[in-house]
Structure 1
Amino acid sequence: MNAYRILNWLCSFLFLISVGCIPLVAQSINFQRATMLVSPSIPMPMRETAPNLLSEEIAKRTGITLKNSPGWSSGKSVTIAFALSSDKELQGVVVPVSTEKERPELRPEGFRVVSDIKGTTLWIIGADARGILFGTGWVLRHLTMDQKRLELAVPANIATAPAYPIRGHQLGYRTTANSYDAWSVAQFDQYFRELAIFGTNAIEGIPFHEEEKASPHFKIPAPEMRIKMSELCQKYDLDYWVWTPATFALTDAAKRQAELDLHEAFYRACPRLDHIFVPGGDPGDNHPKEVMPFLKDLHTLLVKYHPNAKIWLSLQGFSVEQIDYFYRYLAQYKPDWLAGVVHGPGSPSLAETRFRLPKQYQLRQYPDITHNVRCEFPTEHWDQAYALTLGREAPNPRPYSYARVQAAAAQFTDGFVSYSDGCHDDVNKVIWSMRGWDPDMDVHEILADYGRFFFGPNLAEATADGIAALEQNWNGPLAENGGVEATFAYWKKLEIDNPALHTNWRWQIFLLRAYYDTYTRRRLLYEQALEKKANTILAGADAIGPETAMTQAIDMINQADKKPVSPELRSKIEALCADLFAAIGLQTSVPKYKAKGYERGCLLDFVDYPLNNRWWLTDELAKIKSLKTKNEQLARLNEIGTWENPGEGSFYDDVSSVSKGPRVKTFSDDATDIAWWKDGFSRARLSSQTFQRSPALDYENLDPGARYVIRVVGFGEALLRVDGKRLEPIVYNREADAIKEWIVPLSATQDGRISVMFDQPEESHLNWRQNSRISDIWLLKQ
């Protein structure tokens, strides 16, 4: 009986092999002698774009140039066949048709890649032109390509279509960008292509108003590049969006007409234009009663030249009354010229927008994937040392973080076009595009595809792990993160083992981060240790005298400049910045590389910014020397020397520092928002450059019989509560970095613990930079 079952199973297995369902052994197709055969039904220009893209990207990596063939190859050579899912046959050969119930290759942008059982044909079957493009991208991401190999594991049989119809990125050719303004048309062409390979189907330009003054890096004038970008979108069948705010009063008839004329001229000149996005605010300050008629007029002009193009609006900056007006307008007029709403920073919540927006209108997200602080999705638990040196636009691969962000938002949307001001966020673009295609796609798998395509088949897994490690470098207190050194050793070995990649700009960006993170951590440990020694000297000033203490302390803390740590890493960082400027125009410095501003990724200008308080201490000691009496000097020196170490039984918290605020329950994602003083070169105490407005802290193991005083340093108001009860201050100075103090009632500490919180003062009438803030808190045992 058992023998009969085995024989029956074997017969079934051989039958499945004979019909091509199961291969005898897993193997690879060798494409070194392959030719390409393209169906004439594929529309132009994709009929040429897709095979050219495949051939050119293969040639770069292998030296092999695939050629188009007028017919099927004979003998042992392999054919890569491009066809539409609507094709029945290609030159007498039947186009494979899936028998599965779900056929993604029939849905918009969907494709199927399938190999035959003999390994002589690889089919790229698209639902439409974009399906052909994205199917080609899948093949390129999965090919094994180097100077010795051009292979694809078989059997290949993948059928897929995107989950979200809008998957794009804004690439503004303007002076604010930290790299795009230095690009040639050829560089944009290559970048459009690479984004498409990873599932992007839209590019957003910035045609008017923004930075009309020419960048010193422009290869061609901005108006000319805007049209070139349209041509590139036509070449790759990508939607061309433009972001164009109305920055003037729409009630001004002359300016309004001039704006319409400007738009019409641009519309006429573009070979392809699909979407016009007008933000309601950021920038812009017009009521929707003026905006909506203006958008209607734009649409009338737009469809004269691009009949299927659409108009979009964001509600950024709108008041509650303005938002209500907008929805009443939709209910009353039901405008068919409006495609949908864009959700960006300052908009009502995605959930509210989707709930209130009629279903006939689409909802597009406008996520900021380019900034690290002072932004929509700031880096969580970011150490102050990074915030002060890497800043707002450093190379920022955050694949797992952004995968979570996207997963939380995508359900409400029809997709996204991200905000990006440079290619430093390249990994983030790929993550958003790929998970916009398939929200369940594994992040590690995406990163492995990234490494395989850009660095070679042997580095797929290594790249995935290395990028993930760089993201972890930014997680939590830097001084405690020993993984930074491990990540550096990992990338250093990759650098040594792969010298051929030293000119690859993506590789350079990862190396820059590995070196910069490590240099910053070593500086932090070294410079903080010097400050502790200097503080010990100051705290003991009564024994050696104030003048001697100040001299010794400042000499100690300034060893950071006189004998800097790891100068070899510092030199490598400078060299990598030079390489990146030469390769892609990445502007990491204002004076050296003419960046638009210090917030625009100028990490080289802050690579030596103090990670201890030596600048602040120098200024404070100069003030102390002018004090009238020795006792006053000693008192102030003791206060500085014991700032972070107030003595046994007392506690200190830097409320926004992930390393120096152990009792703080709340945290500010964007702690450095208001602290961008003096273009980032503030000499203020480091703790005062990060803060919260309403921190909450828990204290335990207090002495029930002791009297405690709470001391706060900050600015403006501090409305303190202890265990829910508001306390009256005994000292209350509102000036910046001045002290406030409260006596804690003995009844509150009887159980050995207290909870501290602060009410938020009503400051809606103030400019946001003048809002109250709290930086340092002490609980001092008397």
Structure 2
Amino acid sequence: MRSQTRFKASVTTLLFLATYFQGVAQSIDLKNATWVVSPSIASPMKETAPTVLTEEIAKRTGITLKNASVWPKSNAPVIAFALASDKTLLSHNVPSSNGNGPEYKPEGYRIVTETAGANKTVWIIGADARGVLFGTGYLLRHLKMSKAFMGKPLLEFAGPVNIASSPAYPIRGHQLGYRSTANTYDAWTVAQFDQYIRDLAIFGSNAVEGIPFHEDDKPSPHFKIPAREMRIKMSEICRKYDMDYWVWTPATFELSDKAKRKAELEMHEQFYKECPRLDHIFFPGGDPGDNHPSEVLPFLKELQTILVKYHPKAKMWISLQGFDTEQIDYFYKYLETEKPAWLQGVVSGPGSPPMAETRYRLPKQYQHRQYPDITHSVRCEFPVEKFDQAFALTLGRESVNPRPFAFAKIHAKYAPFTDGFVSYSDGSHDDVNKVLWSMRAWDPQADVHGIMEEYSAFFFNHTVAAVAASAIEGLEQNWKGPLAENGGVEMTYVNWRILEKTEESLAGSWRWQMLLLRAYYDQYTRMRLIREQELEKQANAILAAADRNTIAESMDAALAIVNKADQEPIERDIYKHIVDLSDALYTSIGLQTSTEKHKPRNPERGVVMDFVNYPLNNRWWLADEFEKIKKMTSPDEQLTRLKTIASWENPGPGSYYDDISSVAKGPRVKTISEDATDVAWWDNGMSRKRLSTQLFQREPELDYDNLDPRARYIIRVAGEGDALLRVDGKRLSPIVYNKESETFKEWIVPLSLTQDGKISVTFDGPEESQLNWRKQSKISDVWLLKQP
């Protein structure tokens, strides 16, 4: 134990020393600094920015900075808050770029260090109140801070510095919905919202979006205060940090209903009257809601008339989510003929027309805001590509999901068509993504790894910034490709375990806990997957060897093998730590990962502990199939079904099998689904169907080569509904065509098509636009079977 302690201490010391002595000669020691503030900075920012700086430093160092109303005469360093328009501050000249630098642009700032003689000054110069706050954020992100470095507190800023910056996009915000559907926010206090909004501002956010009135009818058991009160509190917090306050307000009733319409307008007016700050109203056209724009637009016009009575500069926005072609055309025709001055712009979110099309069709006087879904991993706007099914079944739709590199690319693809974004978020689990979006919207060229280092330096500590940044990036890499083949998962787990042991002081940090949870969960899932798939192979070997006399014994033996996953569980230490971390997160930030313990809205809302041991082989399905087989009266029929099960994924020499949307078991599949409807959510995530049946596509494409030109082949398909198959572009007629789930369709491949040793298989999409996507045809398994 003592050797482990010495190891942890030595690693920590080396990290401190390596970071500390890098550029130490040019650092400014701020332990005894005094801050002064320009009287030209308007309140509340004149108070807010110094408070943010001093409180965040005190948390990390125990040092309380002094303030002064006159410039200190001692040689102690000074942190000076000023506006770019200031010529002097307390008889000291404010550094200037002669009016043409970024600090003169909206929200811009300049950070300058002056070290003339013994006098040292760090200037935070803002173009405006927000610029002062964002400059404060830059300084906080780049300070070296510690409560005990070599026995003393550490507070240093590496100089010399003369850096200026202003944002590329004017809208940079996040939705923080205090509602029962959130997996975290509904458990927060006012103080937690205040701290989180401050954190977002430190990383460049300038907007927060609240949620609608109808959520008042569905209170969460976790609410600390009623939703109506929290909406007003969030408005007050936004005023304090000079953040735009948006409110997302759908109409979930028929706007033609005069009584409901009147009641809705009255509810809006009461809210507007109570809000100390309100900047934007965002009305989603059809998600939720089902009103024609001929009803929506007059309603919004009337709403805007009420809005400006209480907030004269507030703006009205609409999204075209859920609108069909006729409704979209109606909207643009309305803009052309009416030219509504009351409308500020259009929001593009999931279900909206393409963003490029929206920008091109939208007249230039209207703004265009993105509403990106950064909170979900499957069944969403930006699903994780090539997501292993094991993660889709366990971590699911709303787990801790740092995706810095993926979202940097997504932002770069769509941002040029917009004036910025306010993201869709349902909890703290996407915290890394929020910071990534905010900082890339500020500077689209910002280095992704550098952003992760700033994140780690501020929220953890500067000594582990580089290592923790790479460890966060490792969690994103864990989700790429077949899990069983990804040895990097174990290395990421090892890295986080080392960090956990060397940085014990971070054990109470909810951000640290979230990332640790993912590292342990990923490793546990990979170990389970490898083992449970191997158990199924052993069970299939038993079934393949069965004969008419050993049918019952073979089923019992096969089931006993696959059920070892439950009866002889593995990695119990890792599992226990996952449980402990999930409970710690509920205490620290209100993250609801367990239905039994945490009372979440529903299991799909990030409730990963309900699924941490969900089967990663087909043991549930096998148990159900064996019960069906026992009811068959013919031994031959029973044996045939057993052989089908045994050879499902291993059809024999010269034949091929593909699980259509499995990155591990679909090597010949060329297509991926872009809307993530290829990962099923049945029976609240506890489906007993075969794992491959829970994956599907509508119109998959497969390529085969190295075929025997002399052989006859049959294509077999499992799925549900129709499958309109083509081989090398030629539509084939089936010889077997069952439409029920897990039954087969079959086609004979003409010899003329396999003469060159290769074929391409495609499927036409049946016309099912009248059906909900859950009811539409699905293709889950495809075989190319070489005939004897």
TM-score by length of 2: 0.95
Q: Deviation digits for residues 721-772 of structure 1, max 9, x if unmatched? A: 1111111100001111111001111111111111111111111122221110
Name the counterpart of 2:45: 46
After TM superposition, give the deviation of residue 76 of structure 1 in Å.
2.0
Cα distance in 1 between the residues matched to 2:248 and 2:526: 39
After TM superposition, give the deviation of residue 207 of structure 1 in Å.
3.4
Q: Are residues 1:260 and 2:262 paired?
A: no
- Is contact 2:392–2:679 with CA below 8 Å preserved after alignment? no
Name the counterpart of 2:61: 62
- Is contact 2:548–2:636 with CA below 8 Å preserved after alignment? no
- Is contact 1:207–1:226 with CA below 8 Å preserved after alignment? no
Name the counterpart of 2:701: 696
- Is contact 2:548–2:635 with CA below 8 Å preserved after alignment? no
Root-mean-square deviation (CA, aligned residues, Å) is 1.2
- Is contact 1:674–1:769 with CA below 8 Å preserved after alignment? no
Q: Percent identity?
A: 66
534-543 or 512-521: bigger deviation: 534-543
Match of 2:115 among 91, 114, 117: 117
Q: Are residues 1:139 and 2:139 paired?
A: yes
Cα distance in 1 between the residues matched to 2:559 and 2:674: 33
Q: Deviation digits for residues 269-326 of structure 1, max 9, x if unmatched? A: 0000000000001101111111111111111111111110000000111111111111
Match of 1:435 among 434, 440, 452: 440
Q: Tell me: CA distance 1:288–1:670, structure 2 relative to 1, closer, same or farther (3 Å).
A: closer
Q: Tell me: CA distance 1:747–1:476, structure 2 relative to 1, closer, same or farther (3 Å).
A: same
Cα distance in 2 between the residues matched to 1:468 and 1:543: 54
Cα distance in 1 between the residues matched to 2:45 and 2:24: 35
Cα distance in 1 between the residues matched to 2:216 and 2:541: 51
- Is contact 1:282–1:317 with CA below 8 Å preserved after alignment? yes
Match of 2:408 among 403, 408, 411: 403
Cα distance in 1 between the residues matched to 2:42 and 2:297: 36
- The letter of the residue matching 1:190 is Q
Name the counterpart of 2:534: 529
Q: Deviation digits for residues 10-50 of structure 1, max 9, x if unmatched? A: xxxxxxxxxxxxxx996001000001100111000000000
Q: Are residues 1:90 and 2:89 paired?
A: yes
Name the SS for the 2:35 alignment partner.
strand
Q: Are residues 1:157 and 2:162 paired?
A: yes
Q: Deviation digits for residues 169-215 of structure 1, max 9, x if unmatched? A: 00000000000000000000000000000000000001311362210
Name the counterpart of 1:104: 102
Name the counterpart of 2:217: 212
- Is contact 2:24–2:158 with CA below 8 Å preserved after alignment? no
Q: Are residues 1:80 and 2:85 paired?
A: no
Q: Are residues 1:755 and 2:760 paired?
A: yes
225-234 or 459-468: bigger deviation: 459-468
Name the SS for the 2:340 alignment partner.
coil
Q: Tell me: CA distance 1:256–1:600, structure 2 relative to 1, closer, same or farther (3 Å).
A: same
Cα distance in 2 between the residues matched to 1:538 and 1:25: 69
- Is contact 1:716–1:735 with CA below 8 Å preserved after alignment? yes
Cα distance in 2 between the residues matched to 1:401 and 1:756: 30
- Is contact 2:668–2:702 with CA below 8 Å preserved after alignment? yes
Q: Tell me: CA distance 1:680–1:223, structure 2 relative to 1, closer, same or farther (3 Å).
A: same
After TM superposition, give the deviation of residue 674 of structure 1 in Å.
6.2
After TM superposition, give the deviation of residue 327 of structure 1 in Å.
1.0
Q: Are residues 1:334 and 2:339 paired?
A: yes
Name the counterpart of 2:600: 595
Cα distance in 1 between the residues matched to 2:295 and 2:770: 26
Q: Which runs of 5+ in 2 are unaligned?
A: 1-22, 148-152
Match of 2:359 among 331, 354, 361: 354
Cα distance in 1 between the residues matched to 2:69 and 2:709: 91
666-675 or 123-132: bigger deviation: 666-675
- The letter of the residue matching 2:30 is F
- Is contact 1:185–1:225 with CA below 8 Å preserved after alignment? yes
Name the SS for the 1:146 alignment partner.
strand
Match of 2:745 among 719, 740, 744: 740
Cα distance in 1 between the residues matched to 2:615 and 2:24: 61
Name the SS for the 2:289 alignment partner.
coil
TM-score by length of 1: 0.96
Name the SS for the 2:592 alignment partner.
coil
Count the aligned residue pairs. Answer: 758
Q: Are residues 1:285 and 2:290 paired?
A: yes
- Is contact 2:548–2:639 with CA below 8 Å preserved after alignment? no
Cα distance in 1 between the residues matched to 2:343 and 2:678: 35
Name the SS for the 2:336 alignment partner.
helix
- Is contact 2:36–2:78 with CA below 8 Å preserved after alignment? yes
After TM superposition, give the deviation of residue 669 of structure 1 in Å.
4.1
Cα distance in 2 between the residues matched to 1:187 and 1:775: 45
Cα distance in 1 between the residues matched to 2:197 and 2:288: 27
Match of 1:241 among 241, 246, 255: 246
Cα distance in 1 between the residues matched to 2:179 and 2:511: 22
- Is contact 1:588–1:595 with CA below 8 Å preserved after alignment? yes
Q: Are residues 1:644 and 2:649 paired?
A: yes
Cα distance in 1 between the residues matched to 2:229 and 2:742: 51
Q: Are residues 1:193 and 2:198 paired?
A: yes
Match of 2:515 among 476, 488, 510: 510
Cα distance in 1 between the residues matched to 2:268 and 2:765: 45
Q: Deviation digits for residues 366-419 of structure 1, max 9, x if unmatched? A: 000000001000001100000000011000000000000000001000000000
Q: Tell me: CA distance 1:67–1:117, structure 2 relative to 1, closer, same or farther (3 Å).
A: closer
- Is contact 1:387–1:672 with CA below 8 Å preserved after alignment? no
Cα distance in 2 between the residues matched to 1:700 and 1:671: 28
Name the counterpart of 1:456: 461
Q: Tell me: CA distance 1:670–1:286, structure 2 relative to 1, closer, same or farther (3 Å).
A: closer
Trace 1:476-625 onto structure 2 (pairs within 5 A). 476-542=481-547, 545-625=550-630
Name the SS for the 1:479 alignment partner.
helix
